[in-house]
Amino acid sequence: MRKLTKIEDLRMMADIIREDSIVSLSAAKSGHSAGPLGMADIFTAFYFNILKHNPEKPNWPDRDRLILSNGHICPVLYATMANAGYFPKKELLTLRKLGTRLQGHPHRVALPGLETTSGPLGSGLSQAAGMAYGFKLDKKKNLVWCLCSDGEQDEGNHWEAVLFAAKHKLNNLVAVTDRNYIQIDGNTEQVMPLDPLDQKYRAFNWNVQTINGNDMQEILKVLTAARMNKNKPLMVIANTMPGKGVSYMEGDYRWHGSPPGTITTERTPAKEKQTAIALEQLHQKEAKERGNWYLYHKKLRPLHS
């Protein structure tokens, strides 16, 4: 595993992963932008610091399990896995193409390193809770992490898993909610209110932590401590900015399911300029954080440079 321990290195990697997500989405001409950009910091923290995993041995039995329940944000999963060494970065350009291993929703059998096939929202926490329970029965120490979105918590199945995990005191299960307040048709609180989400999980007998999901320091602190989680399952509510890093996407639900170059809003530049502007904005941010580190680790540069 390629481990990064310095906060500035992790921040820079997150920016590279944002750029690579945009490059692959633009090449695909379809797919989801807002969630991947918002979750890039958390994915970076997982694959470059927190997770016990080995890209060269994806089936290593002692690995942690990371389940992506909201499968539609997989462009960021693929960009992170490629940078972590699971497959060549140029394969990111095959996103959503016919026959690719990088399907529009993750296909476990196609790509080594994926733990589940996902896309139907609301089912990932059940899968993760089942795995965590299995590890308990087998007296194994593996940790199960489950990434979920806020919109998918409109699904009843999600809450059945919440009950199950609390009943079995699955302290080896840590879920992270991408609390970006958007879903396909608008703001979550208008479509189907979830707040106060932290109190709901406490009432269901979970431990709860709330973090700024775009602050690397906070992410590392809470996810590192999560390894010591005791007595109950843990929900980390990560407040994130959908579309993080691209000015015309930030906070706008209309980018939930579209790549740059495909839609016009009152905030967007002309369609044909959207990809270039997104990459320029992300690249400037990355360049600021880059310093000498970049020269040393040149091979980690973004796909398009």
Interaction site with Mg ion (CB under 5 A): 149-151, 180, 182
Partner interacting with residue 152 (select from ligand TPP, Mg ion, none; CB below 5-8 Å by kind): ligand TPP
Query: Closest by alpha carbon to 206, among 167, 178, 180?
Result: 167
Query: Closest by alpha carbon to 275, among 5, 75, 21, 2?
Result: 21
Task: Work out how close the CB of 73 gets to ligand TPP at its nearest, in angstroms, rounded to a whole number.
Answer: 5
Task: Work out how close the CB of 241 gets to Mg ion at its nearest, in angstroms, rounded to a whole number.
Answer: 11
Tokens at 210, concatenated: 């709330």
CA–CA gap between residue 81 and residue 55 (Å, rounded):
8
β partners of residue 149: 178
Residue pointed to by tokens 């989400």: 197
Single-letter residue type at 84: A
CA–CA gap between residue 24 and residue 35 (Å, rounded):
14
Look at phi and psi of residue 58 and say left if phi exceeds 0, alpha if psi is from -120 to 50, else beta: alpha
Task: Work out how close the CB of 121 gets to ligand TPP at its nearest, in angstroms, rounded to a whole number.
Answer: 4
Residues 62-101 touching ligand TPP, rule: CB under 6 A, are: 70, 72-73
* 252 lines the binding site for ligand TPP (CB under 6 A): no
Between 32 and 283, name the residue whose CB sits nearer to ligand TPP. Answer: 32
Tokens at 267, concatenated: 């905030």
Task: Work out how close the CB of 48 gets to ligand TPP at its nearest, in angstroms, rounded to a whole number.
Answer: 22
Residue nearest to ligand TPP (CB): 151
Task: Work out how close the CB of 191 gets to ligand TPP at its nearest, in angstroms, rounded to a whole number.
Answer: 9
CA 85 to chain centre: 17
Residues 16-55 touching ligand TPP, rule: CB under 6 A, are: 34-35
Task: Work out how close the CB of 137 gets to ligand TPP at its nearest, in angstroms, rounded to a whole number.
Answer: 29
- The crossing angle, in degrees rounded to 10, of helices 124-137 and 156-167 is 20
Partner interacting with residue 256 (select from Mg ion, ligand TPP, none; CB below 5-8 Å by kind): ligand TPP
Partner interacting with residue 119 (select from Mg ion, ligand TPP, none; CB below 5-8 Å by kind): ligand TPP
Residues 185-224 touching ligand TPP, rule: CB under 6 A, are: none
Total number of residues shown for the chain: 305
Task: Work out how close the CB of 170 gets to Mg ion at its nearest, in angstroms, rounded to a whole number.
Answer: 24
Contact 42, 213 (CB under 8 A): yes
Query: Closest by alpha carbon to 249, among 96, 8, 26, 11?
Result: 26
Between 84 and 148, name the residue whose CB sits nearer to Mg ion. Answer: 148
Between 8 and 189, name the residue whose CB sits nearer to Mg ion. Answer: 189
* 122 lines the binding site for ligand TPP (CB under 6 A): yes
CA–CA gap between residue 235 and residue 137 (Å, rounded):
22
CA–CA gap between residue 22 and residue 287 (Å, rounded):
17
* 182 lines the binding site for ligand TPP (CB under 6 A): yes
Q: Among 9, 20, 150, 218, which residue interacts with ligand TPP (rule: CB under 6 A)?
A: 150
Interacting residues toward ligand TPP by CB under 6 A: 34-35, 70, 72-73, 119-122, 149-152, 178, 180, 182-184, 242, 256
